[in-house]
Structure 1
Amino acid sequence: MQNSTTRKPIEIKISTVVAVAILLNESSFPAVEAALKEMTAGSPDFFDDEFAVIDVEAITDQELDWNALIPLFKAHGLNPVAVRHAREEDHATIRSHGLSIDVVSKPRAEPEIQASQVQVPAPVEVTPVAPPVAAEPQVIIRNMPAMVIDTPVRAGQRVYARGADLIITASVNNGAEVIADGSIHIYAPLRGRALAGATGNTEARIFAMTMEPELVSIAGIYRTFENGFPPLQAHHPAQVKLNGDSIEVSSVKSAG
């Protein structure tokens, strides 16, 4: 019996893919290689084949050895898919490695107005009006929806709460990754990776009943714990937040 629903050979749908950003501030290949080795501490699966966008805005006036850099990132578990702010003369080389050119749109310039084009209206007499009575300040509360996960997030699994907070009532194991555009709340141990404020929300936070992560990130600023986790108050949940440009980890103390 033939299926009444005809499946198309190919379908295209909108999909959200989370990619890390590689911000290159140095064009020297040895310097980049040494920094990657220090960052990963020799661990071959530190980045676990993460999709990556290489951003070279800080060094657009410098020549880069793309034939060496791209294989270097791949060797350290990063999977570059695009380059942002690349020089036009480098586009062909970048595309030859299978990467896309991420075009960053620039705001259109406002048309310049010459002094002769400006018409000044004739002065008019204005009758004084009593100042309005000050109104009570309006408080605007923006609620962000939440994704709730009730099962453990195991090694190799990735959960992404797009446009939402993420609430997990079970453990996040080593090798697992949880991501949210808002904050992350874990009512169990956090031992994998947690990335909050994925689209740039610097006010996002990460909360966990037991904080033992491999990596945490807020709005793209991350911190790893190869040298051990900072001592926290025993039997208290912990939180991760941004303090300026650095990650701060502290206990959540109950009031009273």
Structure 2
Amino acid sequence: MTKPIEFKAGSLTAMSAIVRELDNVKLSDTLHTMLGGLGEFFAGEATIIDLSQLAKAPERADWPGLLSLLRRYGLQPVAVRHTPEHLEDSARKAGLAVLAADAGKMSAERPAEPKPAATPTAPQAALDLTPPTGGAPTMIIERPLRSGQQVYARGGDVVILGGVSNGAEVIADGSIHCYGPLRGRALAGAQGNTQARIITTSFAPELVSIAGVYRTFERGLPPNLAGKAAHAVLRADRNGQHSLNIDALKLD
């Protein structure tokens, strides 16, 4: 007889949101800078709030406000870990599971210093809500990024040799170099680096962003750019306001 419910051991691949300050105003500003204010960016990914690097624990935490902020960008918070003891009860009341500090099986965090030639097989980028503190090696992705996959080059550039599919996401604190079709979403200068650039041999993205200044292409790509080698860069006017310029590149 088939049972109406059954339990089996399993694992959950989840985004880690590394939160160093429980100040929702500062977190909102940081997310806006990183993601250009684009709502639903993460498309419903399960998320664990990681407080292991919390600078100073407040007496109270506005969990509902934090959950609402993360959900605004398409994250689905399910748990919190490394939680200060006096904040555990309020986290549970907000609907979060409080994990033990070593409950790492539920998370698929990217190492702080990614190894070159590492290609994720599922969304695995850790969302770090603080600026980089030093240089990082260039991340090199040798295979194509498929729909639903995501990489984050924290503190440096990313080089993609095989292209980016629709529905995939590339985020870098530095520049993005794509030597194949660039589809999906590409966000360079994620921590506010206005000198970052996006360079590709075949321009066909859903969205490009540099330091929070972004462009989308719901109405189609400009004919002079579609499928062509292109270069995206920020340019400042006399008032210091940045605009995102995308120009075709001549490779011959």
TM score, norm. by length of structure 2: 0.49
Asked which structure has the greater RCO (Cα within 8 Å, sep 6+), the reply is 2
Structure whose CA Rg is larger: 1
